[in-house]
């Protein structure tokens, strides 16, 4: 009787470890579901929208300007941020705010990206903390899952901050 209970317990823990490893690899390397909160990406992403994020792009270095990404915050590494890629390494980007009279520019260093929220007046982004290392990118947002009335892909940047020619 005791032996049977021990073997059943070991079998259960074995399956639990296997499923845990599969879940970890799936969420780390393939994709995950994220809930975005905060006003920094409005009107593209509203507060508490549920998004599907794929993590394969970051491993293949196929993140491009205009992509909405999930990254670790450079200021608070335990928090994820959702921002739009405005500039890649070597690009010239505007570092001043929308209401600044004097426009300042800088170049994005190698191995970094420039991230900004679509709601420029209410976003803490690369204009505050500078270029973000590529290694902090968790994944690229594929499409919106919730709310159902806006199910599908995300729109382009509404604030006109994406530049074709730099």
What residues act catalytically?
Answer: 40, 83
Give the span between the Cα atoms of 22 and 95, in whole angstroms: 42
By C-alpha distance, which of 54, 51, 53, 33 is closest to 146?
A: 51
Instruction: Supply 76's token pair.
Output: 């608070």
Cα atoms in the Cβ-side hemisphere of radius 13 Å centred on 18: 6
CA distance 108 to 158: 22
Q: Are 26 and 40 in contact (CB under 8 A)?
A: no
3-state helix, strand, coil in the chain (%, to 5): 30, 30, 45
Strands (E), the chain: 31-36, 49-54, 68-72, 80-87, 92-94, 105-107, 112-116, 132-133, 137-146
Q: Is 52 helix (H, G, I), strand (E, B) or coil?
A: strand
């Amino acid at each position: 009787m005791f032996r049977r209970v021990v073997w059943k317990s070991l079998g259960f823990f074995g399956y639990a470890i296997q499923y845990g490893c599969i879940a970890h690899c799936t969420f780390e390397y393939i994709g995950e579901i994220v809930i975005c909160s905060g006003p920094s990406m409005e009107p593209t992403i509203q507060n508490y929208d549920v998004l599907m994020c794929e993590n394969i792009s970051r491993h293949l270095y196929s993140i491009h300007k205009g992509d909405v990404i999930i990254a670790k915050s450079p200021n608070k590494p335990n928090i994820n941020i959702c921002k739009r890629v405005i500039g890649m390494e070597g690009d010239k980007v505007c570092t001043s705010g929308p209401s600044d009279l004097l426009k300042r520019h800088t170049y994005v260093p190698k191995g970094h990206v420039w991230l900004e929220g679509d709601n420029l007046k209410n976003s803490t982004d690369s204009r505050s903390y500078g270029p973000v290392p590529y290694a902090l990118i968790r994944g690229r947002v594929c499409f919106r899952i919730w709310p159902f009335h806006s199910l599908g892909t995300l729109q382009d940047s509404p604030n006109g901050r994406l530049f074709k020619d730099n």
